[in-house]
Amino acid sequence: MKIKILSTLLITLTITGCQKQQAENPAENRTAKTQFEKSDVIIGNYLDRLDNPNTPKAEQINIICKDYPAEYKNYYMPALLQLQPHDYTETKLLNDLDMAVNYYKEKLNIGCS
């Protein structure tokens, strides 16, 4: 399951990085790309901390229940939808988020209230 999640993330990044940007407003496109890249780094750091067995339980709970979903929904997903509107849908991206969150909840035995 972990491989599936990481593979999905890697494919998303590869597709986004390899395709030409064809926005009507290049400045808007640059802003979305910058937002996506920044958010991608933040999400990568969250996933690294969740995979680190030395991360305190309270931090894991905060990441999986609050920080990761908020970053994904508020920054990563809107930027990706703006950059690749024909390749992604909000529903598909929310399903990917749910899959990742559920994986870590199960792996780390975390329940969000």
Number of domains in the chain: 1
Q: Is the pLDDT of residue 111 over 60?
A: yes
Residue 21 lies in a domain: no
Q: Is the pLDDT of residue 28 over 90?
A: no
59-105, pLDDT tens digit by residue? 999 999 999 999 999 999 999 999 999 999 999 999 999 999 999 99
- Kindly indicate the confidence band of residue 5, based on its pLDDT and cuts at 50, 70 and 90: low
Q: Is the pLDDT of residue 1 over 80?
A: no
Residue 20 lies in a domain: no
Q: What type of residue is 16? A: T
Residue 74 lies in a domain: yes
Which pair of structure tokens corresponds to residue 102? 């559920």
Domain with 49 in it = 2-11+29-108
d(CA 55, CA 52): 6
Residue 19 lies in a domain: no
Residue 27 is predicted with a pLDDT of: 74
Residue 80 lies in a domain: yes
